[in-house]
Amino acid sequence: MEEWFTKLLEKYFPAQLQEKIKNYLKGSSQQCKLEEIRLRANRPAMLVFSDKDEILNYQVELNDLQKVMSLISENSVYSYQHEINRGFITVTGGHRVGIVGRTYLKSGEIQTIRDVSGINFRIAREIKGAGKKLVDKLIDKRINSFLNTLLIGPPGCGKTTILRDLTRLLSTGNKSFDRTFKITLIDERSEISGSVRGIPQKEIGLRTDVLDGCPKAKGMMMAVRAMSPEIIVTDEIGTKEDINAVKEAMNSGVKLLLSIHGDSYETLLKRPGIPELLHDGAIEKLVILSRRRGPGTIETIRDNKNVLKQSSNENKKLTVNI
């Protein structure tokens, strides 16, 4: 069992549950496939692997959940109230701990989550080299410039892992291109950098600055005004504010590396604001990901201009047929 994983268990899990997990994984190669540890009140603890779920012989009690909450908040739930309001706490190592229970609202905004009934440890893995085959295709070799890129894929397909490694490669440098880039990473959910108290836990490159826990739209504008980035990186855009900020950043001469939920180019066209971003040619490269051969499967890498041209031709054909 890897040392970092043993430390994770010993730091955040009740002793008896630690032993159950260790005994299940002992002498097994399954740890590398472990994605989540799920704890639900009055139900068995569950290990979620990339290819199966495993129910442990351990009934999770409310006091187990209370113990875990105390450990992940360093015995001060109040000091982590902002993170809890967002539904998760990021712990040392960049692992995100999702929290569910009874939510309390004020003026339509979540104030806190109490009576915690479930906790989900999402295991963060830093896979160096995950973006190595891709990064070379996102550089315009003629002018040695990065191409505005959108990663598309459903949840759990490896978007964040690839986004993190691309950030590292572009910031630190790679043999396949002759330059490095100043990068500002807008990490709203602390998932890419795995920051804890503002300090990145994951390797994101020598020339990368992080705005941790910052809303994407606000963060992009802060970066443009104050950090002079050559590339802005952020995860899971989607709101109208995000789209407007992306356009403004591009108009300021900054390149962008973005991701979004979706399983195809066609599904993106159904989302508010996205068609406008795609059709004006601001996005230059589209990378479609899946889990078909495991997380991080690259299905296609497309030049957006060619996609737009193809769509236009298909529309013309459709008009003729009608």
pLDDT over 90, % of the chain: 55
pLDDT at 18: 95
Average pLDDT of the residues in 169-197: 89
* pLDDT greater than 50 at residue 319: no
Average pLDDT of the residues in 263-276: 85
C-alpha distances (whole Å) from 113 to each of 75, 84, 97, 212 are 16, 7, 13, 22
In terms of Cβ atoms closer than 10 Å to its own Cβ (0-12, 13-18, 19+), residue 10 is exposed
- Band of pLDDT at residue 90, cut at 50, 70 and 90: confident
3-state secondary structure of 84: helix
Alpha-carbon span 114 to 266, nearest angstrom: 40
pLDDT in tens, 213-253: 899 999 999 999 999 999 999 999 988 999 999 999 999 99
* pLDDT greater than 70 at residue 9: yes
Residues comprising the chain, all counted: 322
List of domains in the chain: 3-122 (3.30.450.90), 132-313 (3.40.50.300)
pLDDT in tens, 55-73: 999 999 999 999 999 999 9
Average pLDDT of the residues in 133-159: 91
3-state secondary structure of 110: strand
* pLDDT greater than 70 at residue 322: no
pLDDT at 315: 31
pLDDT at 316: 32
The dihedral built from the CA positions of residue 80, 82, 88 and 93, taken in this order, carries a sign that is: negative
3-state secondary structure of 262: coil
* pLDDT greater than 90 at residue 138: yes
Give the residue with greater pLDDT, 127 vs 285: 285
- Of 198, 163, 161, 184, nearest to 82 by C-alpha is 198
